[in-house]
Amino acid sequence: MALYNFKKIMVVPTAKDFIDLTLSKTQRKTPTVVHKHYQIHRIRHFYMRKVKFTQQNYHDRLSQILTDFPKLDDIHPFYADLMNVLYDKDHYKLALGQINIAKNLIDNVAKDYVRLMKYGDSLYRCKQLKRAALGRMCTILKRQKQSLEYLEQVRQHLSRLPTIDPNTRTLLLCGYPNVGKSSFINKVTRADVEVQPYAFTTKSLFVGHMDYKYLRWQVVDTPGILDHPLEERNTIEMQAITALAHLRAAVLYIMDLSEQCGHTLSQQLELFNNIRPLFANKPLIVMANKCDVRKISELSEENQKIISDLIAEEITVIETSSLTEEGVMLVKTEACDQLLAHRVDSKMKGKKVHDVLNRLHLAMPNKRDQKERPPFIPDGALVRKKAMETDAPKRKLERDLEVELGDDYTLDLQKYWDLMNPDERQDRVPEIWEGHNIADYIDPEIMKRLEDLEREEELREKAGEYDSEEETEDEEMQEIRQLANQIREKRKLKILESREKDTKGPRMPRTAKKVERGTLEKDMSDLGLDMTDKDDSHYARRSRSLVRKRKREVSAPPTSRTRSQSASRPPRDQSGVRDVKMFKKAKLMMKNSQKEMNRQGKKGEADRHVFDLKPKHLFSGKRKSGSTSRR
Amino acid sequence: MRIEKCYFCSAPVYPGHGMAFVRNDCKVFQFCRSKCHKSFKKKRNPRKTRWTKSFRKASGKELTVDNSLEFEKRRNIPVKYNRELWSKTVVAMKKVEAIKQKRQARFIMNRLKKCKELEKAADITEIKKNIHLIKAPHAGQAKQLEDKMVQKLAEDVEMDE
């Protein structure tokens, strides 16, 4: 009823396969181990389970077959008739009936044996019962071999039938064999039906789909019909007749003007009249096909009369040629329009229409005033429409330009720029100047702002902001600066001198080093003191200086103490020394005795300090923590 | 083509130089050289790194608020190309640049002028403290004394006469 989905029917297995399938399933899916010493109820249960399982499987499978196959009473009469034509209604029904009977028999067998199993008292007995049950079920099925085969074939053929929706808009093509029905459907739809010069190339119905007025249309191609009474028709013709009888479609009766199909026009007319009753209540169009070979005007008088008779009966006759496509479109539109009109008519006559009509309301606005308000179509649309109708040359593409210029071609996207001044399009725009982006300065008001800035700058200049201030330093300040610089220099020098001192060596008292008279006088005069004429000064007089030779006088006691003390005492390194030679020797001895001490770095005779040059704690032990960057 | 500003030191990054880093929040950082890039990765604050322009501006060592600085600004609304506007802009740009340089120089000079007074004061204290390094305290005193004595003698002689 609903979907006509004959492809969903489960595969019907052959009898042998069916039996094998079920038995192996029983073996796999039920427990397999049983022993003599089990309790009897357990043994019985075991075998009963097997019997029931097998029965269940057969039952399920067969029921499925019965439900999958369509019931001829439940489906559309078109399909029912078609199936009758193809598969023979009686045979079909019989086969299904047999299957049903088989199913019932299997159920009964199982029931009986399960009942008997209750009285089985040993393993052997139960086993035999189970064997018998299974055996009988399988035999029943073996007897259905023929039905199952037939149903499998039916299933295969059924799944390959074309899906024709009997309720939708359909165009039906009919006529003698070889008149051009299949060529027509090939032209009009995307179907690809075999077209050959021999008759009965098309042996079954074919469907193609096409679009017209935003609707989907079915076009059904039929095998050719010969002119003999209904009872003598074979299966192939009967399919065509069935289609004609049941489908509510527009009928396109195709005639061959050139008589290449092997039948004269009068024979075709005969056929037409014979199947006329089937066209009742269907929009009819007669297609005079193969007009490229012979036109109506070229026909003989009799044949022309036939055609004109048809036209006189208010049947649309259109000349067509599937080869040159002449008139094909015309036929299509005519047929579709007629069918649509017919369908609308029949719907309007029906009862359901009123429900819909009652709910629809077409609102027509009342005229407010006399002003004309025609629909507005912009000019561009009209121009484009005209351009579409005429073959206007397309605008020049970039690709065409490229091909034209060949090697010289450069892609210049700047020419598409939308600027205020179109002839500036080819300008090379500056972007950078001295580390600044020009784009950062672009401002429509930049000139005004620049003027403001310049004005401000002028004001500032006038106010004297940019005058370089010459600092009139008075002489005093200059002197001060000079002096300060001198001081700083002197200090630096002193610091450097002080750094050059030897602080690690022995520290000699200041008086140990003799101060040269020249340096003293120079330093002091640098400091601003007057050092001229200083021969008599205390540092320039040679007091207690060395005398070359001293007469040894009897050391008479001095006349007065004070006098003796005021007389200069000889320095210690000169007292008791006779002459220079002795003096020198004495000095040499002194130095010699001191050499050893000096070499050992001793402070004096009394210095007995022992230096620890290699302390043990630093020169023993393993390398532990600490860096080992030296070895 | 654009000359970007280095995020760290604010130097101009020419095309083909430096590196850009895009963070997960879609913020783009341009760097002029690896020095800036590495400092950024070390999470250094450019406002505290003394040699960067942002430090100098933040610590008032350079001119920050000025009209001439308002001309160079990143604009988000593009203006259609117009030959005269562009040529005018180039001319204006050069003038603005000259004024900007002048003002920046003036700002820095003003800042450095304060040093002069400090220098003067430092000189004076220096002299007061350490004049003994150059001039002995009693430098001209002997002469002065002599002069005075001579003067006194002369006076005595005069008085005697």
> CA A523 → CA A363, A540, B127, distances in Å?
128, 16, 20
Q: What residues contact residue A377 under an 8 Å CB cut-off, 6+ apart?
A: none
Q: What residues contact residue A513 under an 8 Å CB cut-off, 6+ apart?
A: none
Helix, strand or coil, per DSSP, at residue A289: strand
Chain B nearest CA to A493, separation (Å): 11
Structure tokens given for B150: 């001579």
Which of B:75-134 have CB within 8 Å of A?
75, 78-83, 85-86, 88-90, 92-97, 99, 102, 106, 113, 116, 120, 122-124, 126-127, 130-131, 133-134
Identify the pLDDT of residue A22: 94
Rg (CA), chain A: 68
Is the pLDDT confidence value at A184 over 70? yes
Identify the pLDDT of residue A49: 94
Q: Which residue of A has its CA nearest to B132?
A: A527
Identify the pLDDT of residue A543: 66
Is the pLDDT confidence value at A252 over 60? yes
Q: How many CA atoms lie within 13 A of A137 on its CB side?
A: 32
Comparing CA positions, the residue from A15, A160, A204, A195 lying closest to residue A95 is A15
Q: What whole-number percentage of chain A has pLDDT above 70? A: 94
Is the pLDDT confidence value at A235 over 90? no
Please report, as a single letter, which amino acid is at residue B51.
W
Identify the pLDDT of residue A241: 86
Q: Do the Cβ atoms of A480 and B102 come within 8 Å?
A: no
C-alpha–C-alpha distance, residues B128 and A198, integer Å: 138
Comparing CA positions, the residue from A294, A300, A303, A292 lying closest to residue A327 is A292
Identify the pLDDT of residue A1: 40
Q: Do the Cβ atoms of B1 and A435 come within 8 Å?
A: no
Q: What whole-number percentage of chain A has pLDDT above 90? A: 34
C-alpha–C-alpha distance, residues A46 and A40, integer Å: 10
Q: How many CA atoms lie within 13 A of A131 on its CB side?
A: 6
Identify the pLDDT of residue A292: 83
Q: Which residue has the tokens 């139960």?
A: A126
Question: Is residue B29 a contact partner of residue B20, using CB atoms and an 8 Å limit?
Answer: yes
Per-residue b or e along A247-257, where b marks 16 or more CB atoms closer than 10 Å to that residue's CB: bbbbbbbbbbb
Q: Do the Cβ atoms of B140 and A528 come within 8 Å?
A: yes
Which of B:10-39 have CB within 8 Å of A?
12
Q: What tens digit of pLDDT does each residue of A210-232 get? A: 888 888 888 999 888 888 887 88
Structure tokens given for A607: 């210095």
Identify the pLDDT of residue A267: 85
Asked if this assembly's ipTM is beyond 0.85, the reply is no
**What mean pLDDT, rounded, does chain A reach?**
86
C-alpha–C-alpha distance, residues A493 and A558, integer Å: 54
Q: Quick one: pLDDT band at residue A450, thresholds 50, 70, 90?
A: very high
Contact residues, chain B, for A454 at CB < 8 Å: 95, 99
Is the pLDDT confidence value at A2 over 60? no
Q: Which residue of B has its CA nearest to A490?
A: B133
Which of A442, A488, A524, A533 is the best substitution to test chain B (most B C-beta atoms within 10 A)? A442
Is the pLDDT confidence value at A612 over 50? yes
Identify the pLDDT of residue A558: 53
C-alpha–C-alpha distance, residues B46 and B38, integer Å: 12
Mean pLDDT, 10 residues at a time, chain B of 161 residues:
94 96 96 96 96 96 93 90 93 95 93 89 92 85 88 92 81
Is the pLDDT confidence value at A130 over 60? yes
Q: Do the Cβ atoms of A437 and B2 come within 8 Å?
A: yes
Structure tokens given for A410: 């450069």
Q: Which of A435, A453, A530 sits opposite B96 (nearest CB)?
A: A453
Question: What average pLDDT does the segment A503-526 reach?
Answer: 89
Question: Is residue A122 a contact partner of residue A167, using CB atoms and an 8 Å limit?
Answer: no
Contact residues, chain A, for B135 at CB < 8 Å: 527-528
Q: Do the Cβ atoms of A447 and B93 come within 8 Å?
A: no
Which of B87, B93, B113, B116 is the best substitution to test chain A (most A C-beta atoms within 10 A)? B93
Contact residues, chain A, for B53 at CB < 8 Å: none
Question: What average pLDDT does the segment A464-475 reach?
Answer: 77
Chain A nearest CA to B76, separation (Å): 10
C-alpha–C-alpha distance, residues A522 and A515, integer Å: 12
Structure tokens given for A123: 């393993």
Nearest-10 crossing angle of helices A89-117, A40-68:
170
Is the pLDDT confidence value at A568 over 80? no
C-alpha–C-alpha distance, residues A204 and A159, integer Å: 14
Question: What average pLDDT does the segment A331-339 reach?
Answer: 88
Question: What average pLDDT does the segment A403-424 reach?
Answer: 89
Is the pLDDT confidence value at A443 over 50? yes
Q: Quick one: pLDDT band at residue A147, thresholds 50, 70, 90?
A: very high
Which of B:44-73 have CB within 8 Å of A?
67-68, 70-73
Contact residues, chain A, for B88 at CB < 8 Å: 446-447
Strand B12-13 and strand B4-5: the pairing is: antiparallel
